[in-house]
Amino acid sequence: MSCLNIISRNFSISTLTRAAIKNVTVVGGGLMGSGIAQISAQSGHNVTIVELNQEVLDKTHKNIQQSLQRVAKKVYKEKPQEGENFVSESLSRISTSTNLADVVQNSDLVLEAIVENLSIKHKLFKSIDDIAPEKTIFASNTSSLSIGEIAAVCKRKDKFAGLHFFNPVPVMKLLEVVRTPETSDETYEKLMAWAKAIGKTAITCKDTPGFVVNRLLVPLMAEAIRMLERGDASPRDIDIAMKLGAGHPMGPIELADYVGHDTNNSIINGWHEKFPENPLFNPLPFLQKLVDEKNWVSRLVKDIIVTRNNFLYNYCFGAEYYYFYFIHIHIC
């Protein structure tokens, strides 16, 4: 689906659809948080982004403005004035704050997109559970932690769920809505309606490790790395095999690099600790070695040197491919 169709669908939603969730608080102004804030604002919701300091918030606001301008340039190519209106109206719905306690007083939905650390997420939700209105829904954008474990510190477990977006948020259509056994039907229905309102295709998943997408992708990346460990194939050939043989837009080694070796290693080790009997979650010594060496290459990398015994794999990830795939989808 083109960006024009996505934007058109966002603009066509009714006021009734937005009624349940109108005021959205996004905690965390990073890549995911800014994307969530952008799509919420451009679909007619009032959004407040909360961060620890104003400098980060200013940078986040600028990034959102630039992203909206790219969308407007593409969608309203023949109608520049409408494009300017789209940008200004979307930005008018976005505010920023460093005071979460004040912001939540008027929030229908508080969605965190902060660091993947359970204790930090606990601290966040515990600090606002008693002061947020009873109607307020809490949600986490976690990609690997248990929603039930995050919600454990809150009293409103019936109003807690997972909302897992994908990067880049303004472009990727999928949203995983994760229910715990305590998530109420009312909460679930409101979140599904909100997902539709912001132009996402929502799927439902139980609170299982990695939900749907990462539960399939992480073991795939892990097995690709095990193939490197065994010397079964080169990184280049593994990626070409999955792109041309399985129709994947990215190979598993490219994807692992894009996600970041430290992130992949943390996810695998965390799952193994909770489910040691599952061989898909067995730790990866090779990946741990890369992390220990602070070889966390990610995104537009140059080369990665992969060492197994006395063999060197010098693999260029292909700047042209990365430029086309990631920059292209950013601007649709």
Active site residues: 143, 164, 176, 214
Rounded to 5°, angle at Cα 159 from 158 and 165? 125
Query: CA-to-CA distance for 103 and 24, rounded, in angstroms?
Result: 10
Query: CA-to-CA distance for 179 and 104, rounded, in angstroms?
Result: 22
Q: What 3-state DSSP class applies to 49?
A: strand
Annotated binding residues: 67, 74, 143
Annotated binding residues for CoA: 67, 74, 143
Rounded to 5°, angle at Cα 187 from 185 and 191? 115
What are the residues facing 164 on neighbouring strands?
A: 176
Can you read off the two tokens belonging to residue 242?
């999955």
Given its phi and psi angles, is residue 188 left (phi above 0), alpha (psi -120 to 50 degrees) or beta? alpha
SS (H, E, C) 158-206: HHEEEEECCCCCCCCCEEEEEECCCCCHHHHHHHHHHHHHCCCEEEEEE
**3-state class percentages of the chain: helix first, strand second, coil last, to nearest 5:** 55, 15, 30
Phi/psi at 10 (nearest 5 deg)? -60, -40
Please report, for residues 202, 266, 285, 300, the alpha-carbon distance to residue 258 in angstroms, rounded to integers and kept in the order given: 24, 15, 19, 8
Phi/psi at 298 (nearest 5 deg)? -155, 150
Closest by Cα among 132, 129, 187, 134 to 159: 187
Q: In what order do the strands lie in the sheet with 174-179?
A: 94-97, 46-50, 23-27, 109-112, 137-140, 160-164, 174-179, 201-206
